[in-house]
Copies of this chain bind each other. A is one copy, B any other.
Amino acid sequence: MIEAQETELMGSLKLTSQILRYVTNYLQDHGFLQMLPVMLGRSTDPLGPDPNSSILKTIEVEYLGTTMRTMNSMILHKQVAVRDVGRIFILSPNIRLEKADRKASGRHLFEFTQADFEIPYGKMKDVFSLMEGLLVGLTSHIGAEGIRKVDGEPFAFKGPFRVYSTHELEERYGEDWEYKASMDHDQPFWATCHRREFYDREDLENPGHYLNYDLIYPFGVGEALSGAEREYDYQRIRTRMGKDKLAMDIYASYLEEARKGFVPSAGGGFGVERLTRFLRGAAHIGDVQLFRRVPGEVPGI
């Protein structure tokens, strides 16, 4: 490594450390109980109606007669935890064996950590204000050193962030709105109403519309957080899973929990490496990692 790169990397590692501490204290101060991550489960996030569109495979292992899978995300476990425990968050390492061409996005890793939280009886607006408070507090806390400059000043989050529906965004920027809309903003914005995984709640007063949201970083960086109000009713969950033609055997243990009854909730997860990359203005997300985990690159160790 040449020295300038080394210094860049050290700055990113220090920022990641600061973020982890800040997020831990912020969420605990806001009444969230921090849980340990789950790495292996009988059920895991299908990652969309068609998982093959985004990842090559989910790792499966036979262990003492049970098939266990590594975590694509802890969403299914969060629905159990939010019912049994209340407000919870997890610094959750996820494994997603992305296709090699995802390297080009600059923001995909084949393993990463997301700060994943869930609020019982929460609504979209609760997640918005929690995240706005977290991000605004973070940039006022961490100082200016090594933070991306905008018009000569270190970037600082300023809330509340604007809210759009994906329909508005498509109308204005076309179907591939994310990059263009991101370039067109200088603060993050919320994009609501995506057609995606079964656990994101459909707006029953407005079928075909969804009570979910992404937070999008500006300057072309793109997705920061993904979240939703959740489908919590057993029959609704069954219906939505059926529509997505999911292999039901993988979700048997999840459906057992759903049948016991979930509570309504809202939550989200934001990638820690993505937050570091955004604040550092790094060209590629792999540049903020000591152990690079970029699809299509052979890792060092």
Residues of B within 8 A of A13 (CB): 33, 35, 85
Interface with B: A45-53, A213-221, A261-269, A291-299, which one?
A291-299
Number of A residues near B (Cβ < 8 Å) is 62
A63 pairs with B56, CB closer than 8 A: yes
Majority-rule SS of A interface residues: mixed
A35 pairs with B64, CB closer than 8 A: no
B257 pairs with A300, CB closer than 8 A: yes
Q: For residues 227 through 265 of chain A, which have their beta carbon under 8 Å from a beta carbon of chain B?
A: 253-254, 256-257
Residues of B within 8 A of A100 (CB): 64
B59 pairs with A10, CB closer than 8 A: no
One complex includes copies of this chain to the number of 2
A126 CB to closest chain B CB (Å) equals: 20
Which one of B16, B36, B42, B272 lies within 8 Å of A273 (CB-CB)?
B36
Report if A95-B39 is in contact (Cβ < 8 Å); known contacts: A298-B66, A300-B253: yes
| Cβ of A163 under 8 Å from chain B | no
| Cβ of A21 under 8 Å from chain B | yes
